[in-house]
Structure formats: structure tokens, C-alpha cells
A = this chain, B = another copy of it.
Amino acid sequence: MMSERKIIMVPGPVNYEPSVLRELSTPTPSHMSLDFAKAFKKAMEKLRELLNVDGKVFILAGGGTLAMEVAAVNVLNRNSKALVVSTGVFGDRFADLLTSYGVNVVKLSCKWGEAASLDDVKALLEAEGCDALFLTHVDTSTSVLNNVKELCRVAKDMGCLTVVDGVAATGGIEENMAGWGIDVLVTASQKALGVPPGLAIIALSDDALQLLRSNDRRLPCYYASLHNWLPIVESFEQGVPAYFSTPPVNLIQALSVSLELIFEEGLKKVYERHALVGKAFREALKKIGLKLIPVSEEICAPTLTAVWYPDGVVDREFRGLLSSLGVVVAGGLGPYSERYFRIGHMGRVGFTDIVSTIAAVEIALSKCGFEVKLGEGVAAAQDLLLKAGLTPLFY
């Protein structure tokens, strides 16, 4: 029998901290208890600080896709015109989602592996007169990083509402909502926030909140309606339990523990660590002779890396070998799904995760017939990490 003990290097779920998992298994208090209210309040406060948002944070039971939908239905209406910038499968999803609600969508599809160009976005916003910009911070399908700061600033200055999908970024890359002009940010628990899947998170700036309050032609919704959740959030912010639909108590308590770990380490250090770990993986993979999907280093996400297979390497065989070595990585998504794989490196990825993943990739590739000088990729990562003086990676 194969061991259950594996390292999970997919772009979410990740390897969660034991203290977070222990919190998850705490006997569930009543969702109307002061104990839970304390944890809920803390989770909201820490998320607001993490995102530097002046408005509100909503935490719902749901997936990241629900979070995207919550953003859309609450701040748009049927007359809205939205520019959706797509850098992969999840940008496309934003467009599909909006289209399914009858929103007028202008879609800017970036080439596979490329990020959005500021000029293109600016030109389209001007030419099309869009009310809103929908943008993916890191598209989990391509590992392409968009320059959210620059793009949102420009859109916001043009009077556009800005909506950012931070699912594969939040907690691993800075997202400064007030500073960068992000009105709505949606994310999920299971990636760099370090909590098992099941939480949809939606942050609204004060501007977006005002829009929510005045949006009497918003798209049809009920569970996703922030009008239903706003009084609940406001009550829990005062430490007073309130009820609309039973919240996912254990996951929210686990989130509050995970956010505590993040702030204990310090946001700056957490982001630097993600940048370093991402770089270590990229250096190693390039040294091995692999080609990354993002076309240039500046648009490589610090949170995951999508890598083309060399000719002749078969996805199923490669990932099967990796798994037998105790390392789980993800296959591709979208049009090239069989032709690449993805390594997630978000949350508390440690030294052992990095070197063992790279060593396993080397072995698996060589077994798949690709010529690899064993240890070369590992050495590249070791070298970088040693120079950065950041071993061990925590504290």
C-alpha cells in the first residue's frame, strides 16, 4: 500500500500547518456563540489589514468561483459593460460568468503565457466605455502574474470599478486595495491563505460598498447577495453574533489561526519568502532545461509555476512517477492541458518541500526519457536559498 504521506505541491490545496488543521478539528461551538464571534471578528480584521481595504470583508461557505460570482452580481447590473482581461482559464471564467448573467462583456484575451499590457487595457477601456474592469491577479492555469497595481490605478482613474480575482495570489503576493485602487477583491481559503478549501472571501472598498447600497438593479442572487450578509458582518465586527445562513464555523476558526501565523511572520517577510521560493523553483526548472509558460521573468507568479513538458514526456506518466516518489503536482488546465504541469508553491512551503520536489522532478523526467543531469536543479535552488540566507525559511 502506498503511503498517504505526500507533499502536496498543487496550486491549492497546499500543505496546511498542523496548528491550522488542529483548529479545524476543534469541537464546533454554536455559530451564535461569543467564542465563534471572536474568531470571526479576528479573521475579518486580519483580512482587512492584509488587503488594506477600507470597506468590508465577507467570508462565505463556497468555492473561489462563488466568490467571483458574488463580486459580479452585487456591483454590476444588466446595463453594465465590463472589460474582462483574460490571462488563462480563470479570466475566461469571469467572462463566461458575466455573460451568463447577460452583462455586456468586452474580453481582452492575452496570448497563452502573456500578461495584460497596460496600453491595450487603457485603449479598450477608452474605446468601449466600460463601467468595470475584471482582472485576474495570478491565473492559476498559466501562472501568469498581472500588474494589478498599474492596471487598477489606470482603470480607477478613468472612473471604472475594478474587480480583482486574487484566488491564486492573496496571502502570497501583496494586494493593497486602498493603495492600488482595487474596489472588489475575491479570493479563497485554500491557497496562500493556508486553510483547507471551502471559504469564499470577498472584500469591498468603501466605493464598492456605496455602489452595493445604491445598486437597486443588481443581478439576481440570494445566498450571494451581500445585502443579506452586510448586517451579519456589521454585527460580528462588533463581536455580536448574528444569523443569515450558518457559517462554516470550523473553517473560519482555522482561518483565524492561519492569519495569525501570517501576521506573526509579518506580511513583508511572507511576500518576500513567496518571491524567493518562486524564484528557487524557476531557477531549478530552467537549469533542468525546462521552459516556463509565462514568457518573461517579471510576469512569473511567486505562488505557482506552470511548466511546458519537453517533447515526448507524457503527463500521466510523469505525474504518476512523481506521486510514487511522494510529490503531488498538478496537470494543466485549458487548451494545452496535456502539455504542461504546474507546481504550487504557496503557503508555508519549506526547504524540504522545495528540494524534494525538484529532485523528484529530475528523476521523473529522466525516467520519461528526458536527459537530466541529476542534482543540477536541486543545486540551483540550494545555491539561491543559501545566498538569500533564508534557510530555514521560517523565523
Contacts and interface: CB of A to CB of B under 8 A. Distances in A.
Contact of A245 (B4, B29, B65, B101): B65
A30 B4 contact: no
A369 B247 CA distance: 35
A175 interface: no
Nearest to A4: B35
Interface stretch (A19-27, A301-309, A356-364, A381-389): A19-27
Interface string A208-222: 000000000001111
A321 to B, nearest CB: 15
A251 interface: yes
Interface stretch (A7-15, A42-50, A119-127, A284-292): A7-15
A21 to B, nearest CB: 4
Interface in A130-163: none
A328 B61 contact: no
Given A4-B35, A222-B100, A223-B62, A248 B30 contact: no
Interface stretch (A79-87, A192-200, A259-267, A274-282): A192-200
Interface in A53-84: 60-66, 69
A318 interface: no
| Size band of the interface chain A makes with B | 35 or more
A17 to B, nearest CB: 10
Given A65-B245, A196-B249, A198-B248, A102 B220 contact: yes
A188 interface: yes
A64 B104 CA distance: 32
Given A25-B21, A247-B63, A97 B12 contact: no
A100 B35 CA distance: 34
Interface of A: 4, 6, 8, 10, 12-16, 21-22, 24-33, 35, 60-66, 69, 96-97, 100-102, 188, 190, 196-200, 219-225, 243-251, 328, 330-331, 333
Given A29-B328, A96-B222, 12 more contacts: A13-B28, A13-B29, A13-B31, A14-B28, A21-B26, A63-B247, A63-B248, A97-B222, A100-B220, A188-B246, A196-B250, A197-B246
